[in-house]
Structure 1
Amino acid sequence: MTKASSVNWQTWQAEMPATLMFVVRDGKVLLIEKLRGIGKGKVNGPGGKIDPGETPLECVVRECQEELHITPKNPLKMGELWFAMSDIPDIHCHVFMATDYDGVETATEEAVPMWTAIDEVPYERMWEDDAHWLPQMLAGQMFNGRFEFTGEKIDWLEMHFGDAAAAEWKHV
């Protein structure tokens, strides 16, 4: 991927603000198999579209409650992702991590929970971008990334890691 971005990221606006949550403990991460919506059939963290008037933090907690019947404790924002998509709305995603939660992870109509060893995350069943940032996030690094997709394939990407990445986060 040596081509230049075809998106003007300075003026780009997402059509869909969204969130993701990754609960990590004892060397494992809580993932889900999506049963409906964008990403149906893929493995990811719980999350979803931010409702009008809702903050990213409020959204990620609500989505965990809806999708898995858990409430993450002390979620920490770890990164932001910007997706210019070819066949679904463009997405601006706020990514959180937590180490504990209240409740019992439960399968719902939206998702099936799956605890996975961090060194066995099934990247081949996830969105292609996840392999570019999730390992670093699971190791505790903050990040941001911009991706251009055609269908489910990345055409262009740009990633930043570390504390300086947080300075680039957009605020919604």
Structure 2
Amino acid sequence: MLRKKLYTLVFLFEENNVLLGLKKRGFGYNKWNGFGGKIEQNESIVEAAVRELKEECCVAVKHENLKNVGRLEFTFEGEPIVMDVRVFSAKVFQGTPRETEEMTPKWYKYDDIPFDNMWPDDKIWFPYMLSGNLFYGKFNYRGFDTIISYDIKKFDSVHELNKYNEDLNTN
């Protein structure tokens, strides 16, 4: 039986730039990614996203400025856990991104995103996010570098995405 663990992932945007962070330790070490992590006890998904962003790159975002743009589920062959990742974006935030013990932030133009130094699935779902589409993606990995299978769906409204999220949670 697979057990779900809930995570957040936040991307900041300015004009045609996206803020990524180079992971300096732990899961995803030496890969560029968004900012996020585990949800703590008695914390909502949005509260966790706000906290993780602040901890990992010293930028503050208000709850109302976070937009839920997607959901990603990851399984790793032989592992009993499903990583259930809620993806958020924000265009309004306070502060200048700064390096922390966890991440080194850097702005990238859309054409310069370092996909070769990111998770392999990013090449598949990032275009949905960058073009303003809402999405759900499910990825099954062998190890950390090989995608065995995946499925991705696009949604036209947050209502559809949330309904799909609710349906998934009741299964």
Same fold (TM over 0.5): yes
State the match for 2:117 in structure 1: 125
8 Å contact from structure 2 (residues 2, 82) kept in 1? no
- Alignment map for 1:136-151 (pairs within 5 Å): 136-151=128-143
State the match for 2:12 in structure 1: 23
SS at match of 2:20: strand
2:74 to 83, 90, 93: 83
Q: Normalising to structure 1: TM-score of the pair?
A: 0.87
State the match for 1:36 in structure 2: 25
8 Å contact from structure 2 (residues 70, 135) kept in 1? yes
How far off its partner does 1:77 sit?
A: 0.3
| Residue identity opposite 1:114 in structure 2 | K
Q: Which runs of 5+ in 1 are unaligned?
A: 1-10
The separation in 2 between residues aligned to 1:32 and 1:87, in whole angstroms, is: 28
How far off its partner does 1:119 sit?
A: 1.6
State the match for 2:147 in structure 1: 154
CA RMSD of aligned residues (A): 1.8
| Residue identity opposite 1:112 in structure 2 | T
Q: Normalising to structure 2: TM-score of the pair?
A: 0.87
SS at match of 1:48: coil
Larger helix share, 1 or 2: 2
1:99 to 91, 95, 117: 91
2:36 to 47, 50, 55: 47
| Residue identity opposite 1:94 in structure 2 | R
Identity of aligned residues (%): 34
| Residue identity opposite 1:98 in structure 2 | A
SS at match of 1:46: coil
The separation in 2 between residues aligned to 1:135 and 1:166, in whole angstroms, is: 20
SS at match of 2:60: strand
Q: Which runs of 5+ in 2 are unaligned?
A: none
The separation in 2 between residues aligned to 1:123 and 1:87, in whole angstroms, is: 26
Moved over 6 A (4+): none
| Residue identity opposite 2:130 in structure 1 | L
